Structure 1
Amino acid sequence: MTREAKKTPAGKGENWLEQYACAVLTGEITACRKVRTLCAVLLDKLRHPEKYRPWVFDEALANHHIEFVERFCKQPQGKLGAPLRLELFQKARWQAIFGFVDAHTGLRQYQECMIVEGRKNGKTTECAAIEIDLLVNDGEGAPEIYSIATKREQAAKSFNACVNMRKQSPELAGGIRKRQSDLYYPYNLGFITALASATNTLDGLNSHGVLVDELAAIKNRAIYDDMKQSMSAREQPLLFSISTNGFVRECIFDAQYAYAAGVIDGSIEDESFLAWIYELDERDEYRSEKMWIKANPGLGTIKKVDYLRRMVKKADNDPSFLPTVLVKDFNLKENAATSWLTWAECSNPETYNIAFDYAIGGMDAADSIDLAAATAICQRPGDPKIYRRSMYWLPQSVLDADAAAGNRRERDSVPYSLWVKRGLMRAVPGNKVDKQVMLDWFMELRDEDDLYVRYIGYDPWHIDDSLLDRFKAEFGEQCMIPVRQGTLSLSQPMKDLKADLGAGLVVDGNNPIDKWCMVNTEVRTDINGNIQPVKITDSRRRIDGTVALICAYKVLQDHYDDYVTMNEEA
C-alpha cells in the first residue's frame, strides 16, 4: 500500500521552514555556515520544486505532525503539564523532515536526520515528541520505536520523557498503555522502548523509528549500524539522532559528523539524509554573545542567556572548564582539559606529495602484544614545516578475535580493520608484534622510497641488544639515539613541539591514527612545571604514535645542524 491512499490533513497552516530559511539567509537570525548552506538548499527546493522531482513539499502533511505534538504532547519536565510549543527552528526542521515526500508514493524523502546543537536546547524533549508522533500519528502499522544508547540509563532518558508526556496528557494516557518495559499503543499494535547496546538483543527488530539522544555518547558503532539495518523493511522509517559534540575523537559521532558535513556541502550525495549542524564557525566567537545563537538555536527561549553567560564567565576564570564549554555549549571539537593538545593543535588537515632524501626516525615499542608505532619526519631547506610519515602494527589475533565474535566494536573502539585496509596500519601474524617490523619499515623507506633515515630515537628500556645491533648494521653505528622517557629529556621538546603543532608546522598527511594518538595524550607535570606524556584516564586511548613523534622530534632538535647539512648537500 502506498501513501497515496492516506489523505493529508486539511488546512493551509504556515510554512515555518520558509520563514526560518529566509530569516537565516537575510541575517535576521544569526546562523553558522552549515545552517546557512542548508537553508539555501531547502529554500530552493520550496521555490523551485521542478528541479528536485520526484520530491515535493507537502505543507499540510508537515504541519500535521507539528499540530499533533502541540495539541497532545505536554512538557515532561520543568513546567509539567504545560502544552509543548515548538520553536521556529524546531518547526522548520520538522517540516523539512516530514514535509518532503515522493510525488508519486507520498513516502518521505528524509529517512535519516542528524542534529548537532548545544546542550540545554531541548534535545530530550524533542526526541520524546518525535517518538510519540511516530508511534501514534505516522500512519504506520505496528510501528516499533526504539530509543538507543550505549548504556540503558542513557537510552531510558528520552523514553522516560515519553512516559512523562503520556502522564501529563489525558488523551495520550487514555490511548497509550504503560507496560513494564515499553509504551504500547493498542490501536496500531505499536510500541516505544529503550534499548542499549547488548548486540544479542538486536536480531529480528523491525524498526520504524530509531531515536539517538546524545550520539556523541555512543561508543559502539555496531548498535547504530544494526538499528539502521533493522529499518529496511519499512516504507518510510526515520533514524533521528540529536547530540552535542563530545570529547572522544574518531568515534561514531565524528564519522557521522563528517558524513553530514559532506551532505551539506554537496561533496556527498545522499537524498535521504538531512543534517542540521549548529556550531560556531570560529573558536574565538564564543567571546561574542551575538554569535552564541549559532550553536544554540533555542537561546533566549529554551536555553537561558544568563545560564550561558555564567558558563562562559566561569570558563574565562577557570581554563580547565573552557574545553567543556567549547564542546558542550558551542559544538567545537576539543579534548579534555587534561590533554596535552587542543583539538585544533592536532588536527592539521594538510596533505603533501614531496620526495625527501633524509629523515629522522622515532619509534615506540613498549609492548609486543599491543600497538607499535614508528614515524619518520623530514624537513626541506628554507621550509619551517615538518613532514611526517608513520606506520603502525597490531597483532592479527586482535582482528581475528573481533571478526570471530562478529564484533564491529573493535578493540579500543577504533576502526583498526579499516586502517589496515587503507595501508595506514599493518597486521602482524600471531598474537605479538615482533619489533623487527619497525626495522623492516625503515629499511623499506630506504630501499623502496630512497628515504634514508639518518637517526632514530628510541626508548632504551624497550630495545634489546640484538635488535639494536641489527639497526646499527643497516643504518650505521651512530644511528640509534636513546631518548629516555622522563621530564628531564622530554619536557622542553614537548613544549616546542606543541608550539609547532599549534602553528600548523607539523604535516602528517591527515593521518587519522596520528591524530588519534595525539588526541589521547595527556601530560604529567612535576612541581617545576616539567612535563612528560602519559595515558591516565583510559587504557584504551593509545599514545604510541605520539611517543614515536616526540622521540623523533627530540632527535631532530639535538642533531638539527647535522640534518640541515645533509639536506643541503643532497
Structure 2
Amino acid sequence: MIDEGLLDKLIEENKIKQSFKLDEINRELQEKWDDDKYYFDVKESEKIFKYISLLKNDKGTSRKFTILRFQFEIIAEILCVKKRKDNLRRFREAHINVGRKNSKSFLVGIIMSYLYFHQKNIFGALFIITGNTTKQASELFNTFKAFVNSNKALQRRCKITDSKKEIIRKDNNNKLIVLSNDGGGADSYSVYSFACDEIHEYRSDEIYGKLKTGSGQWDEPLAITLTTASSGEDPNNLEMQLYTASKSIEEGKGNDETFYYKIYEADKDCKIDDVAQWFKANPALGLFRKVDDIINLCRRVELMPLQENMFRRMFLNLHVATDHIKNAINMDLWEEAIEDIKIEDFKGYKCWGGLDLSSNKDITAFVLVFYKEETDKYYIFPFLFTAKDTVVEREQKENNPYSDWIRKGDLIAHDGKYIRFNDMLDKMIKLKEDYDIERIGFDRFGSPTILNVLENEFDVEPLGQGTATMTMFINSFENLLIDGRLVIAKNDLFTFMAKNCVAVYNEQLDCKYSKKKSKFKIDGIIAMLMALGLAVDECDIEYYNPLEALDKLDWD
C-alpha cells in the first residue's frame, strides 16, 4: 500500500534537497574532486551557471529555468573537473542512467550547447545527436535549438536548417547534426562531441564505437550516453555494457579516470509501492506536475505483471528480465469478470470477431466481442473447436479434461481426427445470421485459401500477431479488465487458456502473448485480443498505454 503521508514528506524533503546556492555547491564539489592530479574549476562552474540563467525553457509552465541540484552537479562535474598538468577536462565520456522523465535531454542540451558556444580553440567541430529513432534524436535536437532561439546573441551566430536537422555556427563553422543509430557512414565523421539517447533500445553498439573512434583527433572530446535500464538479459546491449563498466569502477574492480557515470536506480527486489524507492531512481520526483498520476499508475500496474515490469524498468530503472512472463493475466480480475451471460440476449447489438486457427489437431478459436453503449462494457463469448477422435489420446498424453470441457459445452468437438474448417465455418455463418458481426480479425499471415473463403462471407481485417499489433491490443485488454469493463462468458477452457498465458516483450517494451512459451494452447485468448482490438477501435475508445502515460507526467 502506498504511504501517501510519507510520500508527501519525502517530496518536501526532495524539494529542499534539489535547491542549492552556487557558492555552496562549488565548495562541496571542490572538496570532492580536488587532489594532486585534478581540480574543480570554480570559474568554469560560475560561467556555466550564468550561461544557463540566460536561456529560456521550451517546456512546462515557466519560461525561466529552475535548475535542480542533481542536474547542475552532473553538468559541473562533467565539464569542470580538470587535470592540473594541462587544464584539460578529465572526463571524455559520460554515462547517465536514470528513470524515465528526469529531464535527461535538458542535461545534454546544456552540456553540448555550452561546449558548442564556449569551448575555446575549436573550429569546424562536429557535434552529433543519435537516437533509436529519428523522432527520438529530433527531441534532443529541438532542445538544443530551443536554447539557441531563446537567446538573441546565440541566434545571430547560428544558421538553423530544420529540414536537415542541422545547426551551423557561422563564425567558426561548428556544426550540429542528427544521425540514425544504425551506424551507416558514422565512421567518416571526425566528431568532437556526441550524444546517444536511450541506448537500451539500440540493436548494436556500432555507432557508439564508430563515433568514439572518430573523436581521436581532438584534445577534449566528449561522448555522452543517456538511458533507462535495459532488460539486463543481453550482456552485449550497449546500456548493459556501460552499466556493468560503471558498477565495476564503483566496486573498485576497474579504473578509467576519463569515464564519468551517474546511475539512479531503486533496490533490485523492492516493492513497487515503496515510495522511498521512487526517489532513488527519480531525483526530480516532486517536481512533476502531478505526483497523483504516478500514484494512480502504480496502483494500476500492480494488477498486471506486464505493466508492473514496465514500471520497474521505466520508473524504478531496474533491469527486469523480459524473455517471458508467466501468468501474464491477472486471474483474480479475470474471475471477477466472468458472468453467466447468454449470447441470445445480445441480438441487435454490434459485435466483432477474432479467428485464430491452430494446427488441425489442436484447438481453434472464434471469439465474438459485443459492446453495449448503455453499460460502456464489452461482452466476450468464446467458441472453441477441436477434433473429437483425438480427444481420449490427448487427455492421456496431456492430462487435460477435454471430455469434461466437451460435456459442459465449453469445447465444440467435430467428428474426425482433424478440425475441418468447413464445419467451423458453418457455425460462424450461423452466428452471422443471428448477430450483427461488423468485422472479423484474422492472422494476416494465415492461409490465403481460408482468407478468401472468409472474405466471401465476412468483412475480414488482416491483423498481425507480433508485438507491433498485440502491444496495443493487450494494453487495452488489461486496462478494460482493471476498470471492470469486461464481461466474460463462463467457459472453463477459456479460463484455462487465460491462466496459461506467457508474455514476451522486447527492449522497446512491445509485448505479445507467446503460443510457443505458453504451456497450453492460448488460441482463444489470441482470438479474443483481435476481436477486442477491432471493437475498441470501432467504438472510438482511446487505447491506454502505460508507457505513454508515464511519459506524459511532465514538468511544472
TM range (shorter): 0.5 to 0.7
Select 1:339's aligned residue among 325, 333, 345: 325
Residues 478-519 of structure 1 deviation map (CA, whole Å, 9 limit, x = unaligned): xxxxxx9x99389xxxxxxxxxxxxxxxxxxxxxxxxxxxxx
Amino acid at match of 1:189: N
Give me the whole-angstrom Cα distance separating, in 2, the residues matched to 1:97 and 1:79.
Answer: 29
Q: Specify whether residues 536 and 316 from structure 1 end up closer, same or farther in structure 2 by C-alpha distance, changes over 3 A only.
A: closer
Aligned residue pairs, count: 334
Contact 1:321 1:337 in 2 (8 A): no
Select 2:178's aligned residue among 194, 200, 215: 194
1:120 has 2:101 as partner? yes
Amino acid at match of 1:155: A
Shift of 1:60: 1.4
Aligned to 1:324: 310
**Mapping for residues 241-256 of structure 1, pairs under 5 Å:** 241-247=225-231, 249-250=233-234, 251-256=237-242
Contact 1:16 1:95 in 2 (8 A): no
Residues 140-191 of structure 1 deviation map (CA, whole Å, 9 limit, x = unaligned): 3222111112332222220122223323332322222202420111122101
**Mapping for residues 556-567 of structure 1, pairs under 5 Å:** none
SS at match of 1:284: coil
Amino acid at match of 1:178: I
Select 2:260's aligned residue among 274, 297, 311: 274
Q: Specify whether residues 489 and 262 from structure 1 end up closer, same or farther in structure 2 by C-alpha distance, changes over 3 A only.
A: farther
Contact 1:16 1:91 in 2 (8 A): no
Residues 191-224 of structure 1 deviation map (CA, whole Å, 9 limit, x = unaligned): 1111113433213211111112212122221011
Aligned to 2:49: 66
Aligned to 2:496: 528
Shift of 1:270: 0.4
Give me the whole-angstrom Cα distance separating, in 2, the residues matched to 1:87 and 1:536.
Answer: 35
Which runs of no fewer than 5 residues in structure 2 stay unpaired? 1-20, 329-393, 401-492, 511-515, 520-556
SS at match of 2:188: coil
Aligned to 1:566: none
Aligned to 2:202: 218
Q: Specify whether residues 67 and 307 from structure 1 end up closer, same or farther in structure 2 by C-alpha distance, changes over 3 A only.
A: farther
Give me the whole-angstrom Cα distance separating, in 1, the residues matched to 2:143 and 2:184.
Answer: 26
Select 1:234's aligned residue among 212, 218, 229: 218
Q: Specify whether residues 150 and 213 from structure 1 end up closer, same or farther in structure 2 by C-alpha distance, changes over 3 A only.
A: closer
Amino acid at match of 1:188: N
Amino acid at match of 1:197: N
Contact 2:91 2:260 in 1 (8 A): yes
Give me the whole-angstrom Cα distance separating, in 2, the residues matched to 1:526 and 1:143.
Answer: 62
Q: Which has the higher contact order (CA 8 A, sep 6+)?
A: 2
**Mapping for residues 380-391 of structure 1, pairs under 5 Å:** none
Contact 2:75 2:111 in 1 (8 A): no
1:87 has 2:75 as partner? no
Give me the whole-angstrom Cα distance separating, in 2, the residues matched to 1:336 and 1:55.
Answer: 42
Contact 2:322 2:504 in 1 (8 A): no
Contact 2:266 2:318 in 1 (8 A): yes
SS at match of 1:119: coil
Give me the whole-angstrom Cα distance separating, in 2, the residues matched to 1:45 and 1:129.
Answer: 21
Which runs of no fewer than 5 residues in structure 1 stay unpaired? 1-11, 22-41, 343-483, 491-524, 542-546, 551-570
Amino acid at match of 1:99: C
1:288 has 2:279 as partner? no
Amino acid at match of 2:108: C
Shift of 1:16: 2.1
Select 2:33's aligned residue among 37, 42, 45: 45
Contact 2:232 2:319 in 1 (8 A): no
Shift of 1:100: 1.1
Give me the whole-angstrom Cα distance separating, in 2, the residues matched to 1:258 and 1:160.
Answer: 31
SS at match of 1:283: coil
Shift of 1:341: 9.3
Q: After TM superposition, where is structure 1 displaced by more than 4 Å over at least 4 residues in a row? A: 532-538
Select 2:134's aligned residue among 124, 146, 152: 152
TM-score, with normalisation over the residues of structure 2? 0.54
Shift of 1:289: 1.8
Contact 1:17 1:93 in 2 (8 A): no
1:164 has 2:74 as partner? no
Contact 1:76 1:164 in 2 (8 A): yes
Give me the whole-angstrom Cα distance separating, in 2, the residues matched to 1:537 and 1:115.
Answer: 22
1:106 has 2:58 as partner? no
Q: Specify whether residues 290 and 120 from structure 1 end up closer, same or farther in structure 2 by C-alpha distance, changes over 3 A only.
A: same
Select 1:262's aligned residue among 248, 258, 272: 248
**Mapping for residues 152-551 of structure 1, pairs under 5 Å:** 152-179=134-161, 180-181=163-164, 182-247=166-231, 249-250=233-234, 251-302=237-288, 304-336=290-322, 339-340=325-326, 488=398, 527-529=495-497, 531=500
Shift of 1:245: 1.4
SS at match of 1:287: coil
Return 53-62 or 162-171, whichever deviates more: 162-171
Aligned to 2:25: 16
SS at match of 1:211: strand
Q: Specify whether residues 321 and 57 from structure 1 end up closer, same or farther in structure 2 by C-alpha distance, changes over 3 A only.
A: same
Give me the whole-angstrom Cα distance separating, in 2, the residues matched to 1:45 and 1:170.
Answer: 35
Aligned to 1:75: 57
Aligned to 1:57: 40
Contact 1:143 1:207 in 2 (8 A): yes
Aligned to 2:334: none
Contact 1:283 1:332 in 2 (8 A): no
Q: Specify whether residues 215 and 16 from structure 1 end up closer, same or farther in structure 2 by C-alpha distance, changes over 3 A only.
A: farther
Shift of 1:336: 4.5
Contact 1:312 1:325 in 2 (8 A): yes
| Percent identity (aligned) | 18
Q: Specify whether residues 266 and 536 from structure 1 end up closer, same or farther in structure 2 by C-alpha distance, changes over 3 A only.
A: closer
1:130 has 2:117 as partner? no
Contact 1:75 1:125 in 2 (8 A): no
Contact 2:148 2:155 in 1 (8 A): yes
Q: Specify whether residues 103 and 289 from structure 1 end up closer, same or farther in structure 2 by C-alpha distance, changes over 3 A only.
A: same
Residues 2-35 of structure 1 deviation map (CA, whole Å, 9 limit, x = unaligned): xxxxxxxxxx95252665x8xxxxxxxxxxxxxx
Give me the whole-angstrom Cα distance separating, in 2, the residues matched to 1:54 and 1:331.
Answer: 34
Contact 2:125 2:173 in 1 (8 A): yes
Contact 1:108 1:236 in 2 (8 A): yes
SS at match of 2:302: helix
Contact 2:267 2:277 in 1 (8 A): no
SS at match of 2:127: strand
Give me the whole-angstrom Cα distance separating, in 2, the residues matched to 1:207 and 1:88.
Answer: 30
Q: Specify whether residues 224 and 537 from structure 1 end up closer, same or farther in structure 2 by C-alpha distance, changes over 3 A only.
A: closer
